[in-house]
Amino acid sequence: MTDLKPLKQLEDRLGGEVKIIPMAPMAQYTTLRLGGPADLLAEPDSPETLTRLLEEAHRLEIPVTLIGHGSNLLVKDGGIRGLVIRICREMRRIEVKGNTIRAQAGAMLSSLAMTAAENSLGGLTFASGIPGTVGGGVYMNAGAYGGEMGQVVTLVEGVDLSGRPFRYAGEEMQFSYRHTRLMEEDKIVTHVTCQLPNANREELIKEMVELNRRRAEKQPLTLPSAGSTFKRPVGGYASALVDECGLKGVSVGGAQVSEKHAGFLVNRGGTAADFLALIAHVQKVVFEKKGIVLEPEVRILGEDAPVTPV
Ligand SMILES: Cc1cc2nc3c(=O)[nH]c(=O)nc-3n(C[C@H](O)[C@H](O)[C@H](O)COP(=O)(O)OP(=O)(O)OC[C@H]3O[C@@H](n4cnc5c(N)ncnc54)[C@H](O)[C@@H]3O)c2cc1C
């Protein structure tokens, strides 16, 4: 049972300066379109309001969960206790100076890639179709078509959960496949800087259009999903393994292995419990038939729904 008093205190203290939503339905804040409510969801519009929120949550001992655009999240049906901080639309400024581009964490990767291209800067075309924020992209070391954030990021700035600032040079981030040191450190990204090579504007735009055409051709973009559910295992592709095991189209409740791309699980009116059961089923079958353990790429947050007595 959540202690509502500190949450109410936080809302009373900061509600005038930050957008705060009580009992926020996480289905509205995730591309998978499911999950129970967050006790409180706040959307800071500046690094300063973010710090105020963190300091207040720390003082009131309220647990904090950070999200971006919610495109790599599976939120359980019981929702998220405490405060969810969403860094997305309200913090999305992007600045270009010469070959350097600096973005607030809530800017979308597509905007970052497009701004770079418009300024004749290359290196980010791979990111143009990844439907997440710059902060989420750096946290995940998001990548596609041979590129990943770690190749272009030179500086990551942010704060820890008590509001203390940090700065990591790109080399200090320990970027590896869908991994960065932030995953072990509970740190929040506020700004990301990339150093980019000069390139031809028209060619960059043409390349992005082509990559996005390939995406739309292969991926089930018209159904809610969180992208590739599993990480690429050593020496293979998760989608090929799932397909070879005959799992394309298999469902648990309203969660389905996409018929178009076996690496995506799509939402056809399911619950988080359906998705967790489908993930476990796919992992079991792939392990039995191929001897390979598939690890989720999607981040699982929150609590199971309480069991109602019959
Ligand atoms: C249709 C589709 C296609 C996709 N294609 C790709 C692809 O090609 N390549 C790829 O890598 N991914 C892909 N994804 C997954 C997803 O878009 C990326 O992982 C993206 O980087 C997540 O960003 P986000 O802002 O949505 O983060 P969220 O999903 O909100 O969060 C993901 C993780 O990042 C953390 N986080 C978010 N913002 C911050 C921040 N400011 N500071 C610290 N931590 C933060 C969260 O705590 C969470 O642990 C796809 C998803 C979809 C739905």
Say yes or no: 57 and 109 in one domain: no
Burial of 260 (0-12, 13-18, 19+ CB in 10 A): middle
pLDDT in tens, 146-190: 999 999 999 999 999 988 999 999 999 999 999 999 999 989 999
In a domain, 76, yes or no: yes
DSSP, collapsed to helix, strand or coil, labels residue 106 as coil
pLDDT in tens, 54-78: 999 999 999 999 999 999 999 999 9
| Catalytic hit among 128, 228, 239, 258 | 228
State the pLDDT at residue 253: 97
Share of the chain above pLDDT 90, in %: 92
Whether the pLDDT of residue 310 is over 70: the answer is no
How many CA atoms lie less than 13 Å away from 276 in the CB half-sphere? Answer: 16
Please state, rounded to an integer, the average pLDDT across all residues of the chain.
95
Q: What is the pTM of this model?
A: 0.96
pLDDT in tens, 188-230: 999 999 999 999 999 999 999 999 999 999 999 999 999 999 9
Kindly report the backbone phi and psi dihedral angles of residue 81, in degrees, each rounded to the nearest multiple of 5, phi listed first: -80, 145
Kindly report the backbone phi and psi dihedral angles of residue 148, in degrees, each rounded to the nearest multiple of 5, phi listed first: -150, 160
Assign 1 a pLDDT band (cuts: 50, 70, 90). Answer: low
State the pLDDT at residue 39: 96
Domain tally, the chain: 3
**Residue ID of nearest Cα to ligand 1 atom 8:** 144
Q: Which atom of ligand 1 is nearest to the CA of 109?
A: 21
Ligand 1 first shell, C-beta below 6 A? 31, 66-73, 87, 105, 130-133, 135-137, 139-140, 142-144, 182, 188-189, 219, 221, 225-227, 299
Say yes or no: 160 and 135 in one domain: yes
Last residue of one domain, picked from the residues 204, 229, 260? 204
C-alpha 280 to ligand 1 mean position (Å): 22
Torsion of CA 180, 186, 187, 192, to 10 degrees: 30
C-alpha 136 to ligand 1 mean position (Å): 5
State the pLDDT at residue 293: 95
**Quick one: average pLDDT of 236-254?**
96
Where residue 145 falls (left for φ over 0; alpha for ψ -120 to 50; beta otherwise) is left
Residue 230 belongs to domain with CATH number: 3.90.78.10
Q: What CA–CA distance (Å, rounded) separates 40 from 20?
A: 7
State the pLDDT at residue 278: 98
pLDDT in tens, 25-44: 999 999 999 999 999 999 99
- In the DSSP assignment, the letter for residue 81 is E
Say yes or no: 249 and 170 in one domain: no
102 has catalytic annotation: no
Helices (H), the chain: 4-14, 47-59, 109-118, 134-140, 182-185, 201-218, 238-244, 272-290
Residues 155 and 193 sit within 8 Å (Cβ to Cβ): yes
In a domain, 183, yes or no: yes
State the pLDDT at residue 37: 97
Residue 117 belongs to domain with CATH number: 3.30.465.10
Assign 101 a pLDDT band (cuts: 50, 70, 90). Answer: very high
Residues with Cβ within 8 Å of 80's Cβ and at least 6 positions away in sequence, in order, are 26, 35, 36, 37, 38, 39, 65, 301, 302, 303
239 has catalytic annotation: no
Residues 60 and 82 sit within 8 Å (Cβ to Cβ): no
CA dihedral over 163, 167, 172, 178, signed as positive or negative: positive
List, in sequence order, every residue forming a beta bridge with 168; answer none if it has no partner. Answer: 156
Say yes or no: 225 and 135 in one domain: no
Last residue of one domain, picked from the residues 86, 103, 136? 86
State the pLDDT at residue 162: 86
CA dihedral over 209, 213, 219, 221, signed as positive or negative: positive
288 has catalytic annotation: no
C-alpha 310 to ligand 1 mean position (Å): 38
List, in sequence order, every residue forming a beta bridge with 80; answer none if it has no partner. Answer: 38
State the pLDDT at residue 235: 77
In a domain, 288, yes or no: yes
Residue 72 belongs to domain with CATH number: 3.30.43.10
Say yes or no: 21 and 100 in one domain: no
In a domain, 309, yes or no: no
* Mutational test site, ligand 1, from 45, 65, 67, 168, max ligand atoms within 8 Å of CB: 67
User: DSSP letters along 248-264, please?
Assistant: TT-EETTEEE-SS-TTE
Q: What CA–CA distance (Å, rounded) separates 192 from 111?
A: 13
State the pLDDT at residue 186: 87
State the pLDDT at residue 228: 96
DSSP, collapsed to helix, strand or coil, labels residue 276 as helix
Q: Domain range for residue 268?
A: 220-301
| Catalytic hit among 33, 102, 178, 232 | 178
Q: What CA–CA distance (Å, rounded) separates 170 from 204?
A: 24
In a domain, 308, yes or no: no
Last residue of one domain, picked from the residues 47, 64, 86? 86
